Chains A and B, each alone.
Chain A
Amino acid sequence: MNKRIIRRSAIAATGVLSLVALSACSAAETGGSKGGDKTVRLHTPSWVGAEVNTAVAKELLESELGYKVETKQMDETPAWDAMSQGKIDAILEDWGHPEEVKRYVDGNKTVVAAGDLGVVGHIGWFVPKYVVDENPDITDYKNLNKYADLFKTPESGDKGQFIKGDPSYVSNDNALIKNLKLNYQPIEAGAEATHLAQLEQLYKAKKPFLTYWWTPQWMNATIDLVEVKLPEYKEGCDADENKVACAYPEVPLKKWMNADFAKEDSDAAKFLKNFNWSTEDQNLVAKYVAQDKMSSEDAAKKWIADNEDKWKAWLPK
């Protein structure tokens, strides 16, 4: 029996190899959207707020417009890359990726803008409310050095500890600490998940911390953080990433699309361009998911059932 198996495998392998060799003579498909079919591929980011954008859009595309939606989970930078190759059609929440915009939007023109999401993002430095209650003047960056001892941990040595966010998120923290001459050591949390776990843990134990933080963020419903004022943001003050010494700008979150997908101007593309909701709406659905432990699908259905007037406006006329 062995003999037969070996002979057959040899024949099969030869067949496959020669097929592969034959096919190698022609240029390969470069992937990307194969037009015609009613399938839309959306990016699911790693944070809940943006995950619910995708969940609501998916639900509506499927139930109202008869599309099939595939969602792909990946980090932001890889998602941009995938969108430029047509492996995903759209990103629904982008906090600003100037390098990718330069490379794919202005550069090889594979990605186009698809309007605002409606949610305005805000990034900053935050401390817990219980720290502010005891040290009211801590909310000004000029006083941070005075409190460096308060934030000292074994990991940060003799400086105060500053907890950074996920490495894929927009951040000027290292430059800010250096340029504002703050006696702080930035510690990389490494991933959003560990960042959140760390903050929640410290908050529960009522320990002081200073961290990179942002809104909208579903955890704001359970932890009370107060922003530390940084030098005011002025247009262009963050142009050179090594010389930044000002606050983060307000970010109207943007949507982006693969250029070919946008050009087809299908119902799905129109719908995704129209998709626009408020910070409150997003936070509400995110809370359903993260805090009430609903599946994102159920959370989206619940919001859709309660807010018909809002999403009706997104459907293509």
Chain B
Amino acid sequence: MTDTVVKDKGAVDKGAGNVADKVADARSGGAAGLFGALGGGRSSVTWLTLLGLAVVLPVSALIWGGGWHDGWTVDLVAPLDSFADWVIANRDSHPLFLYFLLHISNFATDSVDAVSSLLTSLGWVGVLALATVGAWYAAGAGRRGLRVAGVTVGSLGAIGLMGLWDPAMETLALMIVAVAASALLGVVLGLAAGLSDRVQSALRPVLDTMQVLPAFAYLLPFVLIFGTGTPSALLTTVIYAAPPMVRLTSLGLRGADPTVMEAVTSLGASKFQRLRTARLPLARKEMLLGLNQTIMMALSMVVIASVVGAGGLGENVFTALSRKNFGMGLAAGVAIVLIAVWLDRVTAAAGVRSEAQPGRKAPAPGDGRKTALIAGGGAVAAIVAGQLVQREWPEAWTFDFAEPLNRFMDWVVGAFYTDVPVLGGTSEWAGNFTTWVLNPVREGMLAVPWWAMVLLAAAAALLVGTWRGAVTAAVSLGAVGVLGVWDKSMHTLSQVVVALAITLLLGFAIGILAARVPVVERLLRPVLDTMQTMPQFIYLIPVVQLFNAGRAAAIAAAAIYALPAVVRITAQGLKTASPATLEASRSLGARSWQQIVQVQWPLARPALLVAVNQGVVLVLAVVVIGGLVGGGGLGFDVVEGLKGSELGSGLIAGVAIVCLGLMLDKLTQPTSRAAASPASGASGK
């Protein structure tokens, strides 16, 4: 089960929670991987390969010169542009649109409008009270539900106080429809994958690809077909958010306790009865976890969805960007975080409740009915109350905290931008960093001939994983060359590599600190939670102000975004390293540093690998968005495709990003071998 759960981006996108389980799973799945390969039994082969590459790369660069073979490219820009023209000319008349795609589009618009007007007609009191009652009931009613109900009142109330009630409701409407659609799609596909091995093995590569796919890369086709607006926003969100639901539903079905299944079968239950009475109820916990992750991933799309015309909080973030109003953007970002916290707590509490249920004796008759009655009564009261009070959030109850935030940011930028004594300023740092790190790395990558780069990717993937991984990595990199964007891809890749190195360095350092000093961890937790749910776009203006538009700014934004996941996984990994072993080493007189290097680090290896893999995926996603702050490369092409009319080159850049993502995933993801190992093989069936 290792690979199924660990790889979900949502696992880290979401706040606190299940990382620890997953890391534990990862460990049981086998400690193979880069670190394993470097230090493990195959070390002589590994070192020989590395030595060979160390010789081949510079020599080939000197002899052949860099870049892709000129004749081997396929120019797809012109055909894609004319395809785009065809779509635009025909989308109001062609049967494919009239009888299929437009139905989807209209259905999406109508459902979001319906939910939105429902929320409006409930009034703010109605929504707040209904949400509270709902949260209380979902968390198991009684005393246990009170805390979650409190969180609900607190977060929704805070959103109202910030004066963001209306956009928040608009966002919520889109989220409700998107999550419902993702959950439905996820359950259907998950059922299929859970019950049929053939579907499972067909779906897996698709899901793997989807999660290394930066959402930014596939906005464009949707805009082309559906235009901007609700349908595009909804569909991109659904595509991004559905995979965890599929994976976890399938996982839950496959993980059903064999003894229970045997018992049910021996009672003569038919296949459908078995599914309904045993498998589905047993998979409930996983399915709720899947729902939780789906919600978190959908929320992380709020701002990106507003690039293609969804309104709500995402639009507030964008307006704030265009006015350089950092405080306003941050306020909207905080509102998104609050919605995330609220929904996370509610679904997590519901998950805990369902876990408790099987162990419980049959519930006292009437008990469930009583709470349901109370909840129902509360809901009715909420709706009535909502109608009695004015529907809009009262304006007097809002507080503007954008201004103080802006003043603070101005102060930070003013104080650190340049001419700080001794240290220099952020502007100088960025300059030196570009000159001494980024430029050499990029020039180096461009100087090496393409076949040497492909060889390097294949060799690295082989050392980390399997033959299949190596082939995938090599083919992906080759595809980038064939598409004719080799140089741009190297430009982007160099940024990803450097940003990843920085993120890992900082992340491991902070993670080690957090694992050893409990106070640091406690202080860090809320900060990390916020950073993970906060939309990346909010960092863009401050990083430009501090580091100037360019690659350094893009890398800073990427590092900030990916850091929390890496810190968290590192800390969890080190902490869960067997306490007994640690105690033993301590009693043998090992010092702190020795403990870390010789005991905790090796034991935490699988967790660290997960951290590296997550880091890669997250960094790639933001380096692409870095096109907005002068990062250039593939990200800029996608931005230009979205904003200007360069659809063809934008689409190609999107495909190239996907290829880079697949390659990087194979270089850092040892799952294929782990899956073959006995530990996970058993649970995978």
Contacts and interface: CB of A to CB of B under 8 A. Distances in A.
B43 interface: no
B49 interface: no
Interface residues of A, number: 62
Contact of B107 (A20, A73, A154, A163): A20
Contact of B630 (A48, A72, A190): A190
Given A3-B277, A29-B102, A78-B228, A167 B413 contact: no
A235 B417 CA distance: 44
A192 B322 contact: yes
Contact of B322 (A48, A76, A99): A48
Interface string B301-317: 00000101101000100
A65 B629 CA distance: 42
B581 interface: no
Contacts of B672: none
Contacts of B515: none
Interface residues on B, range: 35 or more
Given A168-B643, A205-B418, A189 B322 contact: no
A77 B309 CA distance: 12
Contacts of B116: none
Consensus secondary structure, chain B interface: helix
Interface string B274-316: 0011001100100000000000000000000010110100010
B548 interface: yes
A290 interface: yes
B636 A168 contact: no
A81 B228 contact: yes
B360 interface: no
A28 to B, nearest CB: 4
A179 interface: no
A87 B227 contact: yes
Contact of B643 (A25, A77, A108, A197): A77
Contacts of B544: 194, 197-198, 201
Contact of A24 (B103, B105, B276, B550): B103
B551 A155 contact: yes
Contacts of A27: 98-99, 102
Contacts of A188: 627, 630, 632, 636
A196 B629 CA distance: 11
B102 A77 contact: no
Contact of B227 (A48, A78, A198): A78
Given A48-B323, A293-B325, A190 B318 contact: no
Contacts of A201: 413, 417, 544-545, 548
A48 B325 CA distance: 12
Contacts of B88: 81, 103
A290 B324 CA distance: 9
A101 to B, nearest CB: 12
B227 A154 contact: no
A193 B435 CA distance: 25
Interface in A116-167: 153-155, 157, 163, 166-167
A205 B643 contact: no
A47 interface: yes
A77 B426 CA distance: 36
Interface string B195-223: 00000000000000000000000000001
B107 A189 contact: no
B667 interface: no
A254 interface: no
Contacts of B89: 107-108
A290 B431 contact: no
Interface in A260-310: 289-290, 293
B549 A195 contact: yes
A191 interface: yes
Contacts of B439: 154, 157
A98 to B, nearest CB: 10
Given A73-B318, A78-B223, A190-B549, A197 B541 contact: yes
Interface string B620-664: 000000111111100010011011110000000000000000000
A28 B91 CA distance: 11
B184 interface: yes
A73 B227 contact: no
A188 to B, nearest CB: 5
A3 B276 contact: yes
Contacts of A75: 642-643
8 contacts: A73-B309, A73-B319, A77-B643, A78-B308, A78-B643, A103-B85, A190-B630, A190-B631
Report, nearest first, the 7 A-B pairs whose CB atoms are least far apart.
A28-B102, A154-B434, A168-B643, A193-B321, A155-B550, A190-B628, A78-B228
Given A6-B280, A73-B309, A78-B227, 10 more contacts: A1-B368, A24-B100, A28-B102, A78-B642, A157-B439, A167-B636, A167-B640, A187-B550, A187-B630, A190-B628
